[in-house]
Chain A
Amino acid sequence: MHSLIRKYYYGDIPDTPNAGGDPISSPSAAAEHPWPLWEVFIRSKQGLDHKHAGSLHAADAQMAIENARDVYTRRNEGISIWVVESKYVHASSPDEAESFYEPATDKIYRHPTFYDLPEEVKHM
């Protein structure tokens, strides 16, 4: 799908030439330290969703979970952790946000406030 782009870094690197210029990177430095980047999602308590907490580098999934525990749950912020390698996250593009979300903007009848009911109607 055209509006989905592959992302390799948390929050995405700007991927057009205009988008803040070319990333600064040195291949030699990257080669020295090949640990991939992981996105961390934390469930703060039973019954709630896992929520994005941040990202970190780790050699594998197990290390990513252990590091996430140390970095993001030092004060009981979580009871469950998900990690996913950042390169597997796909994201929608902000440049196309207007057209992408356009179908939702003109359907005001989807909101309960659209319907003007008599005051006698209770519990609705």
Chain B
Amino acid sequence: MSMQLHDFENSFQQKVDAEIKIEPKDWMPEAYRKTLIRQISQHAHSEIVGMLPEGNWISRAPSLKRKAILISKVQDEAGHGLYLYSSCETLGITREETINDLNSGKAKYSSIFNYPTLTWADMGAIGWLVDGAAILNQVMLCRTSYGPYARAMVRICKEESFHQRQGFDILLTLSRGTDAQKAMCQDAINRWWWPSLMMFGPKDSESTNTDQSMKWKIKRKTNDELRQQFIDMCAEQVKILNMHLPDKDLKWNTETQHYDFGEIDWSEFWNVVKGNGPCNKQRLEARRKAHEEGEWVREAAAAYAEKRKSRASAGNLEAA
């Protein structure tokens, strides 16, 4: 039996090494399945909770155009959550259980969404920095070894670049505005920069999941690689905004051909992960409230479907 398991594991790894995608019915190691359930459901929850900080500004967007765009973006996030929940479900966990894990506080989601959105400029900073960081991660995941996850990522990436561009567009407009608007723009960048860098996760030297995930080709790049790529991009883009990134150590290094950057405050990261961020409580309460208040809708829809089904079968009897 153990010999058999060993054989299964070998042929699984050979497939992964040969870049053959793993599909739901294929044999997979239990730990691979669990890692994916954890990662995909966290990703899905992040999309869903990610609607909250932005939803905060739908009713306060500065123009009808911005409002329509923001609604559209938030709707996309809901869609992305659904693609991911579906893909997670293929691993043998029910949708209800996944959502219950979020509502009970058992499951994690990206810490970035536990920060408040204080000004309109935050909508810009989220699009540019938060979505920008997410895109780098998601582009990598388009090539992840698990088929349904990779397919969901391809779909998401197609839609996501509009999110980043609209964010940059908001900041660009503010950066060309009044002094107060410029100050608002810089303030948002100051507040979102460091939490965005934390989105890539702990340093490689301290990440426990990275090695195995790389071996299984769930991940293709390490946290530090992606973070560096992000910093190199943003350090250039911020110049177009005539703003600066809040890091006095940020400096082009001709030797490494990358930007050097300052030390990240990891105690803040772990503190937010543990539930002590500015909005952790508020976010979960909003999700629970939505779930509870939607209960009667779910019940009504099920009752209505049942009624229509029985009417249809009564109709069939008459016809016969």
Residues on B with beta carbons closer than 8 Å to the beta carbon of A33: 95-96, 298
Across the interface, B24 reaches (CB within 8 A) one of A14, A21, A35, A95, namely: A14
Pairwise interchain contact B29-A20, C-beta atoms closer than 8 A: yes
Which listed segment binds A: B75-83, B258-266, B274-282? B75-83
Q: Is the interface of A mostly helix, strand, loop or mixed?
A: loop
Pairwise interchain contact A74-B92, C-beta atoms closer than 8 A: no
Pairwise interchain contact B298-A24, C-beta atoms closer than 8 A: no
**A99 within 8 Å of B by Cβ?**
no
Pairwise interchain contact A59-B94, C-beta atoms closer than 8 A: no
Pairwise interchain contact A91-B25, C-beta atoms closer than 8 A: yes
In the assembled complex, the Cα of A19 lies from the Cα of B26 at a distance in Å of: 7
Pairwise interchain contact B92-A20, C-beta atoms closer than 8 A: yes
**Which residues of A40-60 have CB atoms within 8 Å of chain B's CB atoms?**
54-57, 59-60
**B308 within 8 Å of A by Cβ?**
yes
Residue of A nearest to B24 (CB): A11
Residues on B with beta carbons closer than 8 Å to the beta carbon of A14: 24-28, 33, 92
Pairwise interchain contact B26-A74, C-beta atoms closer than 8 A: no
Given the interface pairs A33-B95, A35-B298, A56-B82, the reply to whether A94 lies near B89 with Cβ below 8 Å is no
Residues on A with beta carbons closer than 8 Å to the beta carbon of B100: 26, 29
Given the interface pairs A20-B27, A60-B308, the reply to whether A35 lies near B89 with Cβ below 8 Å is no
Interface string of B95-133 (1 = CB under 8 A from A): 111001000000000000000000000000000000000
Given the interface pairs A74-B75, A74-B79, the reply to whether A59 lies near B92 with Cβ below 8 Å is no
**A79 within 8 Å of B by Cβ?**
no
Pairwise interchain contact B8-A18, C-beta atoms closer than 8 A: yes
Which listed segment binds A: B181-189, B197-205, B244-252, B299-307? B299-307
Residues on A with beta carbons closer than 8 Å to the beta carbon of B289: none
**B30 within 8 Å of A by Cβ?**
yes
Interface string of B1-19 (1 = CB under 8 A from A): 0001100100000000000
Pairwise interchain contact A12-B24, C-beta atoms closer than 8 A: yes
Q: Is the interface of B mostly helix, strand, loop or mixed?
A: helix
User: Which interface residue of A14, A34, A37 has the most chain B CB atoms within 10 A?
Assistant: A14
Across the interface, B76 reaches (CB within 8 A) one of A15, A22, A59, A74, namely: A74
In the assembled complex, the Cα of A94 lies from the Cα of B151 at a distance in Å of: 19
Residues on B with beta carbons closer than 8 Å to the beta carbon of A91: 25
User: Which interface residue of B24, B79, B93, B308 has the most chain A CB atoms within 10 A?
Assistant: B24
User: Which interface residue of B25, B75, B96, B155 has the most chain A CB atoms within 10 A?
Assistant: B25
Interface string of B118-155 (1 = CB under 8 A from A): 00000000000000000000000000000110011001
Q: A58: shortest Cβ distance to chain B, in Å? A: 8
Given the interface pairs A11-B148, A56-B82, the reply to whether A35 lies near B302 with Cβ below 8 Å is yes
Pairwise interchain contact B305-A13, C-beta atoms closer than 8 A: no
Residues on A with beta carbons closer than 8 Å to the beta carbon of B304: 59-60
Show the binding face of B for A, using Cβ within 8 Å. 4-5, 8, 23-30, 32-33, 37, 75-76, 79, 82-83, 86, 89-97, 100, 147-148, 151-152, 155, 159, 298, 301-302, 304-305, 308-309
7 interchain pairs (CB within 8 A)?
Answer: A9-B24, A10-B86, A10-B90, A13-B90, A14-B27, A33-B298, A59-B302
